[in-house]
Amino acid sequence: MAQNSATEVARETTQQAFSLEIYGENVGVIFIDVPNEKVNTLKAEFAEQFLAILQQAQSTSGLKGLVITSGKKDNFIAGADISMIAGCENKAQASELSKAGHVLFDKIDNYPLPIIAAIHGACLGGGLELALACHARVCSNDNKTKLGLPEVQLGLLPGSGGTQRLPRLIGIPHALDLMLTGRQLKAKQALKLGLVDDVVPESILLDVAVKMVKKGGVQRPAIHWQQRLLSSKLLRNKVFDSAKQKALSKTKGHYPAPEKIIHVVKTGMNKGLQAGYAEEAKAFGELVMTPESAALRNLFFAVTALKNETGAQATPLKINQVGVLGGGLMGGGIAYVTAFQGKLPVRIKDISDKGVTQALRYSWDLLTQRVIKRRLLARERAAVMARVSGTLSYQGLENANVIIEAVFEDLALKQKMVAEVEKMSKQQAIFASNTSSLPIHQIAQNATHPEKVIGLHYFSPVDKMPLVEVIPHQHTDETTIATVVALAKRQGKTAIVVGDDAGFYVNRILAPFLCEAARCLVEGESIEHIDRALVEFGFPVGPFNLLDEVGIDVGTKILPILVERFGERFKAPDLLDKVVKDDRKGKKNGKGFYEYGHHTNKLWFWKKANKRQVDKTIYSLIGVVPNNTLTKADIAQRCVMMMLNEAARCLDENIIKSARDGDVGAVFGIGFPPFFGGPFRYMDSLGIAKTVETLNNLAVKYGDKFEPCELLCNMAENNQTFFSANAEDEVNATKLSNEQ
Ligand code: NAI
């Protein structure tokens, strides 16, 4: 940091978040360095300190202006501290937080001398709002530098003037895009949009900002034509209307924040800055108190907590190289996230050239998409590809200390793989199986080192799905668990440690949901009607669309295993058998519940899925004449209630360690509606007694499989909830049945 500048240091040594240094006699630099924290987040109590620093600078004679920068390595300000929000009891209190932000950032905006933000690292949420209040911004060209307003992802809006300053700086369309998606920009993208005024190497960041101050700020280029056009109110309103329509088609009315963002920006642009601020504070207060925002914030806390957990009482091994057995759909994806996100060397072993080539191609294709979108340089792609290699033997895998197995779903084959790995490995490698249905203890049955065998269950497509289930069996040791959890995190995944029983957690709660959808179909509800019912409930795709996506053969393979272990409630109607026998595998062979034409690309995107046409020939195949007698709400209730009841059983049986893990698993593994926070938060919001009552009613109508499980009945009787109302406890909510 500008060590080469002539510096007269007057840095305070108190435990303050802000300190002032004077550079080259006449430029003040405010360093933000929140004590005892890894990253800077803004807290309400900082306002006073910050105002005092501004005052101190103002009374320093001869100052030409100020630079605001971070005292932390690689982090500017990650956002406002959202635990402040949890303390708000009503809309008015939450609005006050926003208003306090307005007052503070207005002080920067109206400061009599130029203030420049010098940004390196994450500059997000409240951090970017602070930077927006400065008179100009310069940022480093480092990959760690990211700018964005992610509040919408927590069901909120930027509450410290961001909704007003951003459109005035970069124009309404770009500002809406950033606020409605919450996406983060790299330095060059930010420069292109005019969000920052200069991008420089980190080594000269502070010097450049100091020079900007000395020059008296920056000269902005003439206003962009798009902004000029929008000086017409009519045109502006058209932009707002189309943004609203687009937002509604995405949210389906489940998330209130996007509409509020559009409304607040519109107010500010049509009625002026002060009206905009007032509306921003009001809307912020309202959003804070919505159940949707509370659910999204709880999920955020849960994922953050999981990131800090090691999964076991042991230190993870340092991973030197990862081996992947099987270069199919899953193996290819696992190799990619290991080499790209994990930055680890990975060697794929398959029995056929095709398998190896296919896996290498998987990484190449995904990296090339990034190169085309300019999110990666060609040389960076080459560097990642240099970490991936393939073989038909075990050559080059002898020293890998983690081997991930993703061969065909066949117990004898997987046991054989364990034996082969134990024989060839010089490191006594960890053997992590990606099985979707086979019990891990059976895979480890003949192992010489069963303590090294573990389940590591990814979801398809591996590069997109954020969850993995880590499944220790009875004899897996703690180091193995910790190492695999650490590896999953390195691959960019959220890991939950789950119990070794049929279906583990995610597939176990998904199966009864899918079976119930199939029962609705047998009873005469159409495929579109059922899928639409669950999409309207909030799932990204309906159950039949999902089956087509994952492969009907894959999706149904697990059912007999679940029936054998847990009984009739997992029994699917015969129609699924008929569908599989008709060689309908879904999207992968272009034949399923829906029509595919020629689009059978394995690397699919959810967004296309909801637009397909049902393959009507399926009705005669399964002997159903659709007549839609149930409402969509009825269908959704039947399918979802089966899932909720099973999730509660999983908690009771220790398959998941906590309701929190169960929520994270369902949202990130299946797409359970995030605005409900997950199945357990959802049951809490319905009321456990009400959940039990609904299940009992369904049991009368549709049979025993709906009977509420013991845990739910006990909880209803004792008036309990899964989570405490106290925000502090929410994150640590542990298994209730232990406490009973
Ligand atoms: P896949 O059929 O696409 O690939 C399996 C690969 O294993 C093939 O390339 C095959 O040549 C290779 N292979 C077979 N025997 C081998 C051996 N002895 N040594 C090395 N390679 C060998 O299968 P997919 O879909 O990738 O599944 C793999 C595993 O992942 C299975 O256990 C499956 O249950 C599990 N899984 C699958 C999911 C999915 O959605 N497809 C989701 C989660 C888990």
Predicted confidence (pLDDT) per residue in 46-64, tens digit: 989 999 999 999 998 899 9
Strand order in the sheet with 136-140: 7-8, 18-23, 27-32, 65-70, 115-119, 136-140, 198-200
- Name the residue at shortest CA distance from atom 40 of ligand 1: 460
558 Cβ below 6 A of ligand 1: no
Distance CA 544, CA 592 (A): 9
Question: Cβ(624)–Cβ(575) under 8 Å?
Answer: yes
Is pTM beyond 0.85? Reply is yes
Residues contacting 592, CB < 8 A, separation 6+: 544, 547, 548, 552, 579, 584, 585, 586, 615
Distance CA 672, CA 546 (A): 13
456 Cβ below 6 A of ligand 1: no
Q: How much distance in Å is there from the Cα of 350 to the middle of ligand 1?
A: 10
Closest listed residue to residue 665, CA positions, set 429, 534, 535, 497: 497
Q: How much distance in Å is there from the Cα of 547 to the middle of ligand 1?
A: 18
Residues 232-235: contacts with CB under 8 Å, at least 24 apart: 233/270
Residues in the chain predicted with pLDDT less than 50, given as ranges, are: 1-14, 599-607, 727-740
Distances in whole angstroms, Cα of residue 462 to Cα of each of 270, 357, 542, 602 = 45, 18, 20, 11
Q: How much distance in Å is there from the Cα of 414 to the middle of ligand 1?
A: 10
Q: How much distance in Å is there from the Cα of 327 to the middle of ligand 1?
A: 7
- 516 counts as catalytic: no
The minimum-distance atom of ligand 1 relative to the CA of 327 is: 9
405 Cβ below 6 A of ligand 1: no
Helix 632-652 × helix 688-702 angle, to 10°: 110
Q: How much distance in Å is there from the Cα of 606 to the middle of ligand 1?
A: 23
443 Cβ below 6 A of ligand 1: no
Residues contacting 690, CB < 8 A, separation 6+: none
The minimum-distance atom of ligand 1 relative to the CA of 407 is: 7
Distance CA 457, CA 1 (A): 44
Distance CA 158, CA 557 (A): 46
Question: In DSSP terms, which residues pair with 739 in a beta bridge?
Answer: none
> What Rg do the C-alpha atoms of the chain give, in angstroms?
28
Closest listed residue to residue 516, CA positions, set 503, 525, 505: 525
In the chain, what is the straight-line distance between the N-terminal and C-terminal CA atoms, in Å?
56
- Both tokens of 386, joined, read 């240099």
- Both tokens of 536, joined, read 């309207």
Would you state the torsion angle of the CA atoms of residues 722, 41, 190, 150, taken in this order, to the nearest 10 degrees? 20
- Name the residue at shortest CA distance from atom 14 of ligand 1: 407
20 Cβ below 6 A of ligand 1: no
- Both tokens of 209, joined, read 């900002």
Tell me the longest C-alpha to C-alpha distance in the chain.
88
Q: Please tell me the predicted confidence (pLDDT) of residue 324.
A: 98
408 Cβ below 6 A of ligand 1: yes
Cα-Cα-Cα-Cα dihedral sign, residues 52, 56, 59, 63: negative
554 Cβ below 6 A of ligand 1: yes
Question: To test ligand 1's pocket by mutation, which of 336, 337, 351, 558 has the most ligand atoms within 8 angstroms of CB?
Answer: 351
Provide the b/e sequence for 211-246 (b: ≥16 CB within 10 Å): bbbeeebeeeeeeeeebeebeeeeebeebbeebbee
Q: How much distance in Å is there from the Cα of 362 to the middle of ligand 1?
A: 14
Three-class secondary structure of residue 472 per DSSP: strand
434 Cβ below 6 A of ligand 1: yes
The active-site residue, picked from 151, 279, 280, 469, is 469
Q: Please tell me the predicted confidence (pLDDT) of residue 727.
A: 46
